[in-house]
Amino acid sequence: MSTGFVHLHVASCFSTHFGTAWPEDFVLAQSLSPAAALTDRDGFYGVVRHVRTCLEVGISPIVGVDLCVGSHDRVRLDSTRGTRAHNTYDGGIVGGQITVLAHGHDHGVGWASVSRLISAAHHDGVKNGPGTINRAAMVTPDRIPSLLCGDDGPCATILLGPESDLGQAVLASDVPRAKTLLRAWKSAFPNIVIEISSHYTQPGMSGSIPHAAGMFEMALASGTPFVLTNAVRYLHRDDAITGDLLDSAGRLQPMGSFDPQPNAQAWLKDAKSMRQVAEDVARYAGEPGLATRLYESPLPLVERCVVDPHEDLGWQRAKVPELEVIGLSGDPQKILDERCRGGLVHRWPRPNQDLLNQITDRLNTELRIIESFGFATYFLMVADVVDLIKGLKIRVQARGSGAGSLVNYCLGVSNVDPVENDLLFERFLGLKRETLPDIDIDVESARRHDVYYAVTRRYGSHRVALLSMQNQYKTRGALRDTGLALGLPNEKIDRTAKSLWRLNVSEISEALKSRPELAELAREVDADPRLRVLLNQSKRLYRLPRYIAMHPCGVILSDQHLLSLTPTQPSGLGIPMSQFDKDDIDDMGLLKLDILGVRMQSTIAYTLDEIERRHGDRVDVETIAFDDEPTFDQIRSTHNLGVFQIESRGQRELVGTMQPDSFADLVADISLYRPGPMKSNMITPFVEAKLGFRSPQCLHPRFRQTLGDSYGVVIYHEHVIRILADCMGITLGEADGVRRRLGKHHDDVEVEFRTRAAQRSDEHGRRLFTDAYIDRIWETMKSFGSFGFCKAHAAAVAVTTYQSAWLKTHYPVEFMAGIMEHGPGMYPKRLLLTEAKRMGIPIYGIDVNTSTDHYRVDEGAQGAGIRMPFIEIKGISGTEVRRLIEGQPYSSVLDVIQRGRVSRVTMQRLAGIGGLDSVSRGSSRGTILAQVRHLTARPIATPCEDQEALVDEDGVSTIVFPEVPDVDPLSAELDILGIDVSGHALDPWRGLLDEIGVTPVDQLLNLRNNSRVVVAGIRVSAMTSPSKSKKRVVFISLDDGTGVADCAFFDDAQHRVGPDLFRTRLLAVKGITRRTGAKGISINATEAWDFTRAVSQDTSHDI
Amino acid sequence: METGDLVAVWATETGVPQKFEWRGHSYVVCGHPVPWVDRLPWWSLGQEGPLNALEQQMWRVSGVNPDTGHVTCVDLAVEEPSWWRLASIHE
C-alpha cells in the first residue's frame, strides 16, 4: 500500500500492450492515499472505472493522459492535408512524450480540455511514428495552447518527464537545447511541470539516477515547478513479467530480440521506496537537503487536479439531446402526451368502451411515471430516431423490455400490443433511477450503416458517437502471444492453442490431467519444460484488453457537450468512436441506443420488395392479424427453415411437441427455448396443460388470470412481478426491484416476502395466503430469479417470427428468394436450396440473359421460381457481374465472350453450370465448354489453309460437334454453390498417366516437330472430314485440363483403334506431332485406347 | 577475466559504498556513486514455477587508488552485504 505518496503518472492495462493492471486494482491499492491518478496512453479508456472505484473507496480521483508529441517538421508535412492552418510555432516542440493532467473542480472544463486534446491527437495524428510502437495518436504542439486553455486560463498541467524532448536533451547533456526547449514549452503553455522520475536504470540511459538528477537540477536552476513520479506500469514488481509479455506482443518479437524493460522498477512503489528515490536523486544532484521537498512535490498538483465527479462530470445524471435538435420546443411532457394520444387513435381506431378505458388508464399511468423520472425527452428522442429510420424506408422495431411500453407502442417505436399481450411498463421503467434505460432497436442488417449516418446528420456529429469495446485476450491469444514471447516454434504454439482454446486458462492444468483427448498434449507438456512455462505464464495475459474496436451496435446520443465528456477516435466508418465502453455509459449519464442489424429484417424487406415487383401490391406486414390459421399450420409442420428463431433442430422438436396455435404460444416457445427452462422442467407442465393431459396447476387461484397466457406455468418476469406485487402488497415498480434482487440476495428477499405475504389480508381481515401457499409460491419465485424471461422481449421477437412464417406461408417463392439473398439463420445455402425444392419451388440455374446480382423470383418453365445470381459463380468479381448484366441480352456464346468481357475462367465456369445453355441452340454442356475453351484460348491457333473458320458470323461453330454425353453431370446445386467446376474428370488418373509418360497438352509446343508423343484426355469432339485422298480422316479432340489436343486418325490408325474411337470418352492417343503454324500443333495418331481399361496392359503401351 | 571478481565493499548504513578492495588493491570511492538496478533475463534462464522479475542491485562507483591516484570506474553487483561482484569496468 502506498500511503502518503500520490502517484501522478500511472498506466493501466488500458494502455495497450503496456500497462498490466486494472484501474480498479490500482485504486484499491491506494485506498489509504488521499487521491489516485490514472494517466493511460492515448486516451481516457479506463477513467470512468477509475472514478467509480475512487468513489466507492472514498478517495479523490485524478485523471490525465500520456501522449506523444509531434514534431515541428511533421506538422509542416501534415499541413498539406489541409485540415489545419500551417504551424507558425517558433522554437518548435520536437517529439517526445508528455503527460497531461486535467484540473478539477472547475465545472468540467479541465476534463473537457484534455478530452478534446485526446480527440485531436487521434484525428490529426500520424499513426506509428518512428520509435513509437502501437501509439495511434499524436498531438501536434500548436494544438496545445488552444485546447488546454479555457476562458479562465489554462485548465490542465503538462508534465515533462525523462521521455519528453526536454528529458532527452538533458540525457544527452545538451544544456543549450534543453534550455531552449523549456523556454519554448513555457511560452506556449503556462503550466509546465518537470517530472522527476527514475527507474534506476543504468547510468547513461534514460530514467537513471543521474538523468533524474539532471532534470531536478534543471528545474531548480530555471525555477520550474517539479513533481516526483514513478511512471508506473504495473502493480507489483513481479508483474514486470506481464509487462515483458506485452512488450513482446506489441512488437511481435520474442524476448531477447529487442531491448526489454531495463528492470522491474516501474511498480506502484510504496512510500518508503519513493522516499528512497527522492533521496537518491537529491543526493546525486548535490541537494540532499531537498529530498523531502522532492518527495512531497505531488501535493500541490494533487490539489489542483482532483476531479469532482458530480460537479465536473454530471456523474450519473442523464444527458439527452436538446429538444430543439428535433425541431420541438416547449414542455417535453406535453409534447409526449399529445403524440401518444395521436398514436393511440392510430393503433386502435375503433375500441369498445371497456378497451378504451383500459388503454387510457394504462397510458396515463405510464405518462405519470415518465414525468416523475423526467424522461419525456428521452422517449421523444427514441421516437425521433425510429421515425428517422422509417423515413429512410428501413424496417425497424424495438425489442427488449421497452417493447412492453404502451407509450412506445403509441409512438410507433415498438410493434407489440402491450395490452393485448399483457406486458408491463414497470419491467422497463420500474423503480426510480437516475440512469436512462437501455433500448434495443432492430433494423435491416444491410442498411445499418445508413442508419448511423442518418442519425449523425440529424443530431450533429458533436452529439453522436459510436460505442467502443475492448477486445480482451482469451485463451488462444494469450497462449499465442506468450508462446511468441518465449520464442517457441510456431507449430508447437499452434498445436497447443488449437487443443486448449476452448478452456479458460485456469481450467487448463485440470483439463490436461483429466481429459482423454488432451492426453497427448499432456505428455508433451510433461516432456517439455518450455510448454510448462508457456501454460503458467500465459495466465498473466488472460482478460487484459488487447485492442479497441467498434461495438457492433451501440450508438451514443447526447447533448451538445458530448465531446467535452468523451474523447473520440476514428472508427473506420467516418463517425467518431467514443473511448468509453458499455460499462462506462451509465455512470456518465449518456444515452445509448443499441441499433442491431438483424438479417431477418433485411429478408422481410427484400421479400416485400419482390412481392411488390411481381404482384404490384405493397404488403404491410405490420398490420397482418396474428391469428392466421394457415400460418400456424405452417409453423406446426416444423418445416420452419427460414422462420425467425424457430428453425433449429431443437426448436423443431419443441414446436412439434407444443403445437402452437396462438401468438401467445409463440411468445412462450421463445421464452422456454433456453437452457434454464429446458433443464428445469418448465416445458413439460406447459405442454401437458396445453394439450389437455392435465389441468393447469395454478400457483394460487388469485393468479389464474395472470398465468392464463402460459397454462399456469410461471415463465415471464412479468408474471413474477405481478405475483410479487400481489403477495407483498407493493407496487409493480417495487416488485420489479425485488425481482432483480432475487438472483443474488434471495435470503433477504425471502424474509421480506414471507413476512409481507403473511400479513396480506382481505377486507374481512382473513389472510390471503396460507403458509402452505406461501411456501409453494416462494419456491417458484426463487428459481425464477434465473429462469424467467422478459415477455416484452419475447413478444417482440415473436412478432418477427410470426411475420416470417406468414410470408413463408403466403408468398413462399418471394420469401425463399429473400432468405437466399440475405442468409439469416443458421443454415448454409445448400440446405436453403433443398428446402426451396421441398416446398416445390423451382430453382432456375444461372442464365447469362436472365440472372442478375440478386436472388430473384423468375418465371420459368416450371412456373415461378428462384433464379440463381451470377455472384454464386466461384471467384467471379463484382466488376464481372456488372459487365455481364450491362451487356444483357446476349445472342450467342461468342457474343457473351465479346461483350460480357469476363475472364476465361469465369466463362468456363459459366458454361460448365449451364449459364450459356440458352444462347447455345441446344448444344450439350460439354460441347459448349469445348467451344468456350477454343474461343477464349490464348493464343488462338492459326488456322491452316484447308481448315475453315471455326465460327461463322453468327458465332455458331462451323465444326459440327456431334453430341457428346456430358462428362460427370454436376448437379445444379453443387455447381452453383461454388464447387470448382474446373476440377477435371482426368484428375483421378493423373498418376497413371504420368507413369505412362503422357505429355500435357500445353507442353506440346515445346516439343520438336515430328516428336513421338502420348496425350490423353476427355474426348470433346469427334468428327470426320474427307482428306485429299478421299479416305476418311477422323479428327478427335481431347481435353486434358491444360488444353485441347487435336488428333488426326488416318485410315490405318482408324483400323487399328477400331470402334473405341467413337465409343470411349477417356482416351489416350499415341502419335507424332505436326506443327500447323507458329503456335499450332496437332498429332497424327497411330494408336488410341481407353486408358481406364489399360491398367494391367500398360507394358504394351510404353513409349 | 576480471568481471566476475569478488570485491569486498565497505558501505554506509544505507548501503552507499565508500571503500572497496579488488584484487588486493584498495580504492576509496570518490564522486557520487550511482545506484542502479539491472535485470536478469528470466526468459533464457530455463526457469519454471512462479517466475519473479529477477533484478540485480548495482552500484556504479569511481574509486581512486590512494597509492597511484589512478581512478577506476566500475559497476558492482550487490550480492552479499560485504562481498559484491565486479560486473564491468568503465574507463
pLDDT band at A708 (very low <50, low <70, confident <90, very high): confident
pLDDT at residue A1008, rounded to an integer: 84
CB–CB of A256 and B32 under 8 A?
Answer: no
Q: What local confidence, expressed as pLDDT, does residue A84 receive?
A: 28
Q: What is the pLDDT of residue A1020?
A: 64
Task: Report the alpha-carbon angle A22-A24-A29, nearest 5.
Answer: 100
Mean pLDDT value of segment A190-194: 96
Q: What chain A residue is nearest to B76 in terms of C-alpha separation?
A: A202
Distance in Å, alpha carbon of A504 to nearest chain B alpha carbon: 19
Tell me if chain A has a CB within 8 Å of the CB of B45: no
Give the separation between CA A715 and CA A718, rounded to whole angstroms. 8
Task: Look at A241 and B32 and tell me if their CB atoms are within 8 Å.
Answer: no
Q: How far is CA A848 from CA A83, A813, A869, in A?
A: 49, 21, 10
CB contacts, 8 Å: B43 with chain A: 244, 254-256, 485-487
**Are A429 and A402 in contact, with CB atoms under 8 Å apart?**
no
Interface test with A, best of B37, B60, B62 (most A CBs within 10 A): B37
CA B30 to chain A, closest CA, distance in angstroms equals: 13
Structure confidence by residue, pLDDT tens digits, A420-429: 999 999 999 8
Asked if A551 and A19 touch (Cβ cutoff 8 Å), the reply is no
Mutate which of B13, B36, B54, B73 to disrupt the A interface (most A C-beta within 10 Å)?
A: B36
What pLDDT digit, counting tens, does each position of A202-228 carry?
Answer: 999 999 999 999 999 999 999 999 999
Which chain A residues are within 8 Å of B17, Cβ to Cβ?
Answer: none
Supply the pLDDT for residue A617.
87
Q: What is the nearest CA distance from A284 to chain B, expressed in angstroms?
A: 6
- Determine, for residues B34 and A486 on separate chains, whether the beta-carbon distance falls below 8 Å: no
List of chain B residues whose C-beta atoms are within 8 Å of the C-beta of residue A242: none
User: Does residue B17 register a pLDDT over 80?
Assistant: yes
Query: Which residue would you say has higher pLDDT here, A603 or A1078?
Result: A603
CA distance, residue B54 to nearest chain A CA (Å)? 8
Residue B52 has its nearest CB partner, among A209, A238, A263, at A238
The Cα–Cα gap between A543 and A361 comes to 50
What is the C-alpha to C-alpha distance for residues A885 and A151, in angstroms, rounded to an integer? 62
Q: In this structure, are residues A591 and A790 in contact, taking their beta carbons and an 8 Å threshold?
A: no
Question: Residue A65, SS3?
Answer: strand
Per-residue pLDDT, A716: 92
Residues 6+ positions from A361 with CB-CB distance below 8 Å: none
Q: Is residue B55 part of a domain?
A: yes
Q: Which of residues 2-31 of B touch A (CB under 8 A)?
A: none
d(CA A961, CA A976): 26
| Cβ A120 vs Cβ A570: under 8 Å | no
- A280 to B39: CB separation less than 8 angstroms, yes or no: no
Q: Which residues of B touch A533 (CB under 8 A)?
A: 47-48, 51
All cell numbers assigned to A1014: 502420348
3-class DSSP state of B87:
strand
**How much is the pLDDT for A1019?**
78
A139 and A70 in contact (C-beta within 8 Å)?
yes
Instruction: Render pLDDT for A284-331 as a digit per residue (tens, 0 to 9).
Output: 999 999 999 999 999 999 999 999 999 999 999 989 899 999 889 999
Q: What is the pLDDT of residue A985?
A: 58
Inter-chain contact B32–A284, Cβ cutoff 8 Å?
Answer: yes
Q: What are phi and psi of A1033, to 5 degrees?
A: -115, 135
Over the stretch A334-393, which tens digit does the pLDDT of each residue have? 999 999 999 999 999 998 999 999 999 999 999 999 999 889 999 999 999 999 999 999
Max CA pair span of chain B:
50
| Residue A116: Cβ within 10 Å count | 18
Mean pLDDT of B60-78: 90
Indicate yes or no: CB of A201 within 8 angstroms of CB of B39. Answer: no
C-alpha grid cell, residue A410: 403509441
Least confident of A469-473, A748-752, A774-778, A953-957: A953-957
The pLDDT tens digits for A729-756 are 999 989 988 888 887 777 888 898 999 9
Start-to-end C-alpha separation, chain A: 88
Q: Tell me: the pLDDT tens digits for A861-917?
A: 889 999 999 998 888 899 999 999 999 999 988 899 889 888 888 898 888 888 888
Domain membership of residue B71 (yes or no) is: yes
DSSP codes of every residue in A734-800:
HHHHHHHHHTT-HHHHHHHHHHHHHH-B-TTS-BSS-HHHHHHHHHHHHHHHHH-B-HHHHHHHHHH
Which amino acid, A367? L
Confidence of residue A611 (pLDDT cuts 50, 70, 90): very high
CB contact (8 A) between residue B35 and residue A200: yes
- pLDDT value of position A1101: 41
Yes or no: say if A635 and A663 are a contact pair by the CB < 8 Å rule.
no
User: What is the interface pTM, i.e. ipTM, of the complex?
Assistant: 0.94
Band (A502; pLDDT cuts 50, 70, 90): confident
Q: What are the pLDDT digits (tens) for A751-784? A: 989 999 888 888 888 888 888 889 988 888 887 7
* Cα four-point dihedral sign A408, A410, A411, A416: positive
A533 contacts B47? CB cut-off 8 A: yes
**CA distance linking residue A615 with residue A613, whole number of Å:** 6
Q: Is residue B75, in this structure, part of any structural domain at all? A: yes
Residue A860's pLDDT is what? Answer: 86
CA distance B25 to chain A (A): 25
- What pLDDT, in 10s, does the model give residues A101-126? 999 999 999 999 999 999 999 987 65
- Residue of A245, A247, A263 for testing the chain B interface, max B β-carbons within 10 Å: A263
Q: Residue A949 burial (CB < 10 Å; 0-12/13-18/19+)?
A: exposed
> Of the ranges A637-641, A818-822, A830-834, which is most confident?
A818-822
- Cβ <8 Å between B34 and A209: yes
- Residues in Cβ contact with A515 at an 8 Å cutoff, skipping those fewer than 6 apart: none
Q: Do A237 and B55 touch (CB under 8 A)?
A: yes
The total number of structural domains in chain B stands at 1
pLDDT at A1043: 67
Chain B residues in contact with A209 by the CB 8 A cut-off are 34-36
The per-residue pLDDT for A782 is 84
Q: Is B55 on the interface with A (CB under 8 A)?
A: yes
- Selecting from A200, A254, A255 the residue whose C-beta is nearest the C-beta of B37 gives A200
What pLDDT score was predicted for residue A952? 54
pLDDT value of position A1078: 56
Whether the bond between A939 and the residue before it is cis, its omega within 30 degrees of 0, is yes
B1 within domain boundaries: no
A931, A893 contact by CB (below 8 A) = yes
In a domain, B68, yes or no: yes
Query: For residue A984, what pLDDT is reported?
Result: 54
Yes or no: say if A1068 and A1014 are a contact pair by the CB < 8 Å rule.
yes
> How many inter-chain contacts (A to B, CB under 8 Å) are there?
77
Which residue in A200, A255, A260 is closest to B36 by CB distance?
A200
Task: Select the residue of B36, B41, B52 nearest A203 (Cβ to Cβ).
Answer: B36
Q: Is the pLDDT of residue A941 over 80?
A: no
Domain with B69 in it: 6-90
Give pLDDT, residue A1075.
Answer: 75
Q: Which of A32-46, A432-446, A536-550 has the lowest mean pLDDT?
A: A432-446
**Predicted confidence band of residue A697 (pLDDT cuts 50, 70, 90):** confident
- The answer, for B52 touching chain A at a CB cutoff of 8 Å, is yes
> Looking at the predicted structure, is the pLDDT value of residue A979 above 60?
no
Distance CA A1069, CA A1016 (A): 6
* pLDDT at residue A94, as a whole number: 45
Report, as an integer, the average pLDDT of A392-416. Answer: 94
Evaluate if residue A77 carries a pLDDT over 50.
Answer: no
For residue A796 the three cell numbers come to 417482440
Q: Which residues of B touch A244 (CB under 8 A)?
A: 42-43
Say if CB A396 and CB A598 are below 8 A apart: no
Query: Which of A247, A269, A277, A280 to probe by mutation at the B interface, max B CB count within 10 Å?
Result: A280
Residue A228 φ then ψ, to 5°: -90, 130
Give me the pLDDT at residue A113, please: 96
* Closest to B76 in 3D by CA, of B91, B61, B90, B54: B61
Per-residue pLDDT at A831 exceeds 90: no
- What's residue A944's pLDDT? 43
| Chain A residues within 8 Å of chain B (Cβ atoms) | 199-203, 208-210, 237-238, 240-241, 244, 254-256, 260-265, 280, 283-284, 286, 485-487, 529, 532-533, 536-537
Q: Is B40 on the interface with A (CB under 8 A)?
A: no
Decide: A984 and A1042 in contact? Cβ < 8 Å: no
Average pLDDT, chain A: 86
**To the nearest whole angstrom, how far is the Cα of A237 from the nearest Cα of chain B?**
7
Give DSSP secondary structure letters for A66-98.
Answer: EEEB--HHHHHHHGGG-SSPPP--SS---SBEE
Q: Please tell me the predicted confidence (pLDDT) of residue A834.
A: 80
Q: What are the counts of helices (DSSP H) followed by strands (DSSP E) for chain B?
A: 0, 6
Q: Is residue B36 part of a domain?
A: yes
Q: Is the pLDDT of residue A977 over 80?
A: no
Residues A944 and A1080 sit within 8 Å (Cβ to Cβ): yes
In whole angstroms, give the CA distance from residue A49 to residue A52: 5
* Contact (CB, 8 A) for A113 and A102: yes
* Per-residue confidence band for A504, with pLDDT thresholds at 50, 70 and 90: confident
Site of grid cell 400456424: A632
pLDDT score of A99 more than 50: yes
Task: Indicate the residue of B49, B53, B58 with minimum beta-carbon distance to A240.
Answer: B53
Instruction: Show residues of chain A in contact with B55, CB under 8 Å.
Output: 237, 263-265
**3-state secondary structure (DSSP) of residue A36:** strand
Q: Label residue A174 left, alpha or beta by phi (over 0 means left) and psi (-120 to 50 means alpha).
A: beta
Closest Cα in chain A, distance from residue B23 (Å): 25
Domains of chain A: 23-311 (3.20.20.140), 323-360+367-470+549-600 (no CATH), 474-542 (no CATH), 622-713+725-803 (no CATH), 842-976 (1.10.150), 987-1101 (2.40.50.140)
- Give the best residue of A198, A199, A200, A234 to mutate against chain B (max B CB count within 10 A): A200
Chain A positions in Cβ-Cβ contact with residue B48 (cut-off 8 Å): 529, 532-533, 536
Contact B43 A208 (CB under 8 A): no
Q: Which amino acid is at B77?
A: A
Per-residue pLDDT band for A1080 (boundaries 50, 70, 90) equals: low
Query: Cell numbers 570485491 label which residue?
Result: B7
- Report yes or no on B22 lying in a domain: yes
Mean pLDDT of B38-52: 79
| B57 within some domain | yes
